[in-house]
Amino acid sequence: MNISNHNDALLAQHTRRLDFLKSEVNLPAGILQKLKDFQIAIPSWALGTGGTRFGRFSGGGEPRNLEEKIADVGLLHQLNQSSGAISLHIPWDIPTDPAAIRSLAAQHGLAFDAVNSNTFQDQADQAHSYKFGSLQHVSAATRKQAIDHNIEVIKHGVELGSKALTVWLSDGSCFPGQLNFRKAYERTVDSLKEIYAALPADWSLYLEYKAYEPNFYSTTVGDWGASYSMVNKLGPQAKTLVDLGHHLPNANIEQIVSILLMEGKLGGFHFNDSKYGDDDLTAGSIKPYQLFLIFNELVEGMDAKGMNHAKDLGWMIDASHNVKDPLEDLLQSVEAIQIAYAQALLVDRVALEAAREANDVVRCQEILQAVFRTDVRALVAQARLELGGALDPIALFRQEKMREQLIKSRGAKTVATGL
């Protein structure tokens, strides 16, 4: 892949855009370094074509195994220098030879972010079904099976150098009366306590909440309140994970983020976007202002706690691609997240705070919206350029006919494990 030729051809246009941005806004010191340090983990389960119960339309050249998934994330990272980690889902991606997988990832400049357990599907050789839940299940044997699986996932993560376990539970009910909410909650907490006890001292447990699906009446870890109350019962290594698509319509996610951050209980994110439900669409593709407002709260809240933006929270994408090339979609998501972060770093927080203290509502809005309406793409591109990435990753992906090459080497009908 010839990144330097690609950049040479775009350099003049890029420099013009960057100079214009610099003439419009004073860039805070260190903003480029912050953008360069900001790495977003790619989900191993979103490198193929997703689908819905109504259909799945494969684009071809999908990774057939974990090695090819790592190569695909490596390709993304080569192009944008901002996808330096992969988040695995077990058992969709069991690393049969962890040492080999770890060194293959290192060759691509990749680390392993949080590992994800899966007690929302029954595996062929499974003794007890998760049809009626896992950690909440009425049967102690089923709960134990789910606890053991999570402990197994931690072991896989330790071998790969991961430092966090993400637990998302589809547990809940589909009809009123079906579930004793109190027992389900307590059984889930007691089960999580056994998983928490198996965490290495330097690990985190991210408890992901979700309003509905696949259960359609109640979800036991159904909102930030349920997750927050549970992680508080577990201990300091347990935090809440915010998947942007897991909220009821019109939820104020940026306010939830600010409270969890203030409480020291925000663990990380699954970035995506949605119009209706858990649509798992490209980050920033439906509600870009919300993504900016979330990063605005993150920068304010993390600075208030002296946190390291790049290292102290889990930055991960969780998306599913039904009509777009998975790799192009992921490149778009990373770009949208970097843009929202860059804009949040440009907010004049002193002026904003003064306007807030003066109840000058219009001034508050003007300060935020002026930044949101500032085109920072040249700044994000400059960070990529300085790290050896492509000025226009999607253009280069297409110029180099990457998908065609993947179809040629893997075939048109390959299906990646995952959603």
Judge contact between 131 and 215, C-beta under 8 A.
no
What's the first-to-final CA gap in the chain, in angstroms? 29
Minimum distance of Mn ion from residue 119's CB (angstroms): 14
Task: Check if the beta carbon of residue 257 is closer than 8 Å to that of residue 271.
Answer: no
Check: CB of residue 77 under 8 Å from CB of residue 110.
Answer: yes
- Cα distances (Å, whole numbers) of residue 142 to 122, 191, 206, 212, 222: 11, 11, 22, 22, 21
Strand partners, 165: 115, 205
Count of residues of this chain found to bind ligand LRH when the rule CB under 6 A is applied: 10
Which is closer to ligand LRH, CB of 270 or CB of 377?
270
Least distance to ligand LRH from the beta carbon of 137, Å?
18
Radius of gyration in angstroms for the set of CA atoms belonging to the chain, rounded to a whole number? 22
- Phi, psi for residue 144 in degrees, rounded to 5: -65, -40
Residues 172 and 166: beta-carbon distance below 8 Å = no
**Residue 208 C-beta: closest distance to ligand LRH, Å:** 5
* CB 286, CB 294: distance < 8 Å: no
Please give the residue ranges that form the binding site for Mn ion (CB under 5 A). 243, 270, 318
Measured at the CA of 89, the angle between CA 84 and CA 92, to 5 degrees, comes to 125
Interaction between residue 210 and ligand LRH (CB under 6 A): yes
The residue from 38, 130, 168, 228 that contacts ligand LRH (CB under 6 A) is: 168
**CA 191, CA 170: separation in Å to the nearest integer?**
15
Round to whole Å and give the CA distance between 181 and 190: 14
Q: Which amino acid is at 372?
A: F
Residue 372 contact, options ligand LRH, Mn ion, none, Cβ 5-8 Å cut-off depending on partner type: none
Q: Smallest gap, in angstroms, from Cβ of residue 318 to ligand LRH?
A: 5
Q: Of residues 72, 93, 113, 243, which one binds ligand LRH by CB under 6 A?
A: 243
Q: Does 149 bind ligand LRH (CB under 6 A)?
A: no
* Distance in Å, CB of 232 to ligand LRH, minimum: 21
Q: How far apart are CA 118 and CA 168, in angstroms?
A: 8
Asked if 419 is part of the footprint of ligand LRH (rule: CB under 6 A), the reply reads yes
Q: Which does 377 bind (CB under 5 to 8 A by kind): ligand LRH, Mn ion, none?
A: none
> Residue 170 Cβ, how far from ligand LRH at the closest point, in Å?
7
Q: Would you say how long the chain is, in residues?
A: 419
Closest approach of ligand LRH to the CB of residue 160, in Å: 17
- The alpha carbon torsion through 300, 301, 307, 309 (nearest 10 deg) reads -60
Question: Which of ligand LRH, Mn ion, none is residue 45 near (CB under 5 to 8 Å by kind)?
Answer: ligand LRH
Partner whose binding site includes residue 315, from ligand LRH, Mn ion, none (CB under 5 to 8 Å by kind): none
What are φ and ψ of residue 165, in 5° steps?
-115, 125
Residue among 200 and 214 whose Cβ is closer to ligand LRH: 214
Task: Determine the angle formed by the axes of helices 66-80 and 402-410, rounding to 10 degrees.
Answer: 170
Of positions 208, 328, 329, 392, contacts ligand LRH by CB under 6 A? 208
Nearer to ligand LRH, 10 or 195 (CB): 195
Q: Residue 396's closest CA among 384, 386, 407, 410?
A: 384
Supply the minimum distance, in Å, between the C-beta of residue 319 and ligand LRH.
Answer: 9
Q: Residue 93 interacts with ligand LRH (CB under 6 A)? A: no
Q: Tell me which residues in 272-301 interact with ligand LRH (CB under 6 A).
A: 278
> Judged by CB under 6 A, does residue 318 bind ligand LRH?
yes
Smaller CB separation from Mn ion, 6 or 247: 247
**Tell me, what amino acid is at 234?**
L
Site string for ligand LRH, 339-358 (x = CB under 6 A): --------------------
Closer by beta carbon to Mn ion, 280 or else 325: 280
Please, what is the minimum distance in Å from the beta carbon of residue 95 to ligand LRH?
Answer: 17
Beta-bridge partner residues of 351: none
Is residue 269 a contact residue for ligand LRH (CB under 6 A)? Answer: no
What residues make contact with ligand LRH under the rule CB under 6 A? 45, 116, 168, 208, 210, 243, 270, 278, 318, 419
